[in-house]
């Protein structure tokens, strides 16, 4: 029996996903070398069925374990600000899991220690973000949560599961940029990866870019309520002055974001819509209905008795909320587009409003995550460590101190 196009399409999709996850031999998707099964062979019963597929890679790990065999399973920076190379890998291969724990008494190290990743000998990093933000801790505060791609475990165990393929080499570094010269005592880490016999085909390189605006520049400080006519009637169809989460040039797909917010003004911060511009479109290709809607919650994340309800699910979450809707209110959120990464062939710009039509002046901190072909566009300059540390600003508006004139 000759399989129909739908069956072949499903097999190709499964093969592609399995190759990217390192479950099958690398090769052209849909080819015999990729699946090593005849066209009429059985398909997997479920996603868990892939656990039975025989692997054709070599499992490896870059680790901080004590090379002497004793129990000092950590790396001490040679100087306080010296980059620590936590992984120098030869390809072809793919990183499958990262675990990092930092021994430092100052929680601000989540903002001052920077994680960078370089693929195939590039001189500009494809990943550049404060360590905490990369793992969803965008306000220099620890909390535990679980998602499909990142999680934080007790006590201070940082984990991520993004597949990170590379053809020739991978370099991962941690650099302490503390403005107060706060010492990191040591780093613990396990970087799990697999080695292939030949590079994967048809896959992009992993990228993650940190951005912040502290504060965002609202178009007015003369307002008392998000819902007053002067605010609610403002229009914004083209994304003017939106906060930019990430932008890239080339071919690839956007897979998600972690976002932290520190409120400089009272009331709900999240009246802003996400607007995503793809392949040079002057208008957003994707336009949302509100910040909490983008993170797949609703109505200010409030439950019974108007109390906010933190949540963390595989693809969506707002696992940390404190002092909600007041000056000093703090939120951390994430969204993974596992149901369908947002593909682009030439460019993408992912933005979100800060309040309706950008009327609010809160602090935003984000990391955008995506895959793309190389070379990538140069990242914007990383904010100085002292500027990355969350603090309140006098911006006017409800509950806030008036701005300096």
Which residue in 141, 208, 155, 255 sits closest to 376, CA to CA? 208
Last residue of a domain, one of 195, 216, 245: 195
Whether 404 is covered by a domain: the verdict is no
pTM over 0.75: yes
Residues 190 and 211 placed together within one structural domain of the fold: no
Let me know: does 142 contact 107? Beta carbons within 8 Å: yes
Burial group, residue 372, by CB count within 10 angstroms (0-12, 13-18, 19+)? buried
Query: Does residue 146 belong to any structural domain of this protein?
Result: yes
Are residues 99 and 149 part of one domain?
yes
65 shares a domain with 44: no
CATH of the domain at 328: 2.60.120.1390
393, part of any domain: no
Q: Which domain holds residue 71?
A: 58-195
Residue 403 lies in a domain: no
Pair (375, 257) in one structural domain = yes
Look at the chain and report how many structural domains it folds into. Answer: 3
Asked if pLDDT for residue 38 goes beyond 90, the answer is no
Average pLDDT in the 16-28 region? 43
70 Ramachandran zone, left/alpha/beta (phi>0; psi -120 to 50): beta
Measured CA angle at 316 (ends 313, 318), to 5 deg: 90
Do both 21 and 161 map to the same domain? no
Give pLDDT, residue 126: 98
Residues 248, 349, single domain; the answer is yes
What percentage of the chain has pLDDT greater than the value 90?
81
Mean pLDDT of 249-256: 98
Burial letters 390-402, b for 16+ CB under 10 A, else e: bebbebbbbbbee
Check whether residue 157 and residue 297 sit in a common domain.
Answer: no
Q: Above 90 in pLDDT, residue 30?
A: no
Predicted confidence (pLDDT) at residue 171 exceeds the cutoff of 90: yes
Largest Cα–Cα separation, the chain: 78
Please check whether residues 151 and 295 belong to one and the same domain. no
Please indicate, yes or no, whether residues 112 and 228 belong to a single structural domain of this protein. Answer: no
Query: Within this chain, do residues 210 and 279 fall inside the same structural domain, yes or no?
Result: yes
What tens digit of pLDDT does each residue of 323-370 get? 999 999 999 999 999 999 999 999 999 999 999 999 999 999 999 999
Per DSSP, the chain holds a count of helices (H) and strands (E) of 7, 22
For the segment 178-203, the average pLDDT, to the nearest whole number, is: 94
Q: What are residue 393's phi and psi, to 5 degrees?
A: -125, 145
Given a cut of 50, is residue 200 above it in pLDDT? yes
Pairing of strands 274-278, 347-352: antiparallel
Residues 253 and 135 in one domain: no
Q: If you average pLDDT over residues 120-134, what whole number do you get?
A: 98
- Check whether residue 377 and residue 247 sit in a common domain: yes
């Amino acid at each position: 029996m000759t399989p129909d196009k739908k069956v072949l399409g499903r097999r190709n999709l499964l093969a592609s996903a399995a190759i990217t996850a390192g479950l099958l031999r690398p090769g052209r998707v849909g080819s015999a070398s990729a699946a090593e099964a005849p066209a009429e062979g059985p398909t997997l019963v479920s996603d868990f069925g892939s656990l039975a597929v025989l692997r054709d890679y070599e499992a490896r790990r870059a680790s901080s374990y004590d090379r002497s065999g004793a129990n000092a399973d950590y790396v001490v920076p040679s100087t306080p600000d010296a980059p620590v190379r936590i992984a120098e890998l030869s390809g072809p291969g793919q990183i499958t899991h990262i675990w990092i724990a930092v021994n430092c008494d100052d929680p601000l190290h989540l903002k001052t220690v920077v994680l960078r990743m370089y693929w195939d000998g590039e001189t500009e990093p494809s990943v550049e973000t404060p360590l905490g933000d990369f793992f969803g801790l965008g306000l220099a505060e620890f909390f535990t949560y679980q998602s499909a791609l990142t999680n934080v475990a007790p006590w201070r165990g940082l984990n991520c599961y993004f597949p990170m393929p590379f053809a020739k080499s991978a370099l991962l570094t941690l650099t302490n940029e503390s403005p107060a010269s706060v010492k990191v005592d040591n780093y613990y880490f396990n970087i799990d990866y697999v080695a292939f016999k030949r590079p994967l085909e048809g896959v992009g390189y992993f990228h993650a870019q940190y951005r912040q605006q502290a504060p965002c520049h609202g178009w007015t400080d003369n307002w008392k309520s998000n819902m007053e006519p002067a605010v609610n009637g403002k229009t914004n169809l083209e994304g003017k002055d939106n906060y930019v989460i990430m932008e890239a040039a080339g071919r690839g797909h956007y897979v998600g974001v972690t976002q932290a917010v520190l409120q400089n003004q009272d009331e709900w911060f999240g009246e802003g819509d996400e607007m995503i511009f793809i392949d040079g479109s002057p208008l957003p290709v994707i336009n949302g209905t509100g910040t909490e809607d983008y993170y797949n919650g609703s109505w200010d994340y409030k439950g019974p008795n108007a109390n906010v309800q933190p949540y963390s699910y595989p693809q969506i979450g707002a696992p940390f909320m404190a002092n909600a809707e007041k000056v000093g209110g703090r939120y951390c959120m994430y969204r993974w587009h596992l149901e369908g990464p947002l593909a682009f062939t030439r460019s993408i710009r992912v933005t979100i409003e800060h309040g309706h039509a950008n009327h609010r002046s809160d602090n935003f901190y984000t990391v955008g995550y995506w895959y793309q072909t190389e070379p990538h566009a140069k990242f914007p300059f990383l904010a100085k460590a002292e500027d990355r540390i969350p603090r309140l600003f006098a911006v006017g508006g409800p509950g806030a101190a008036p701005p300096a004139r």
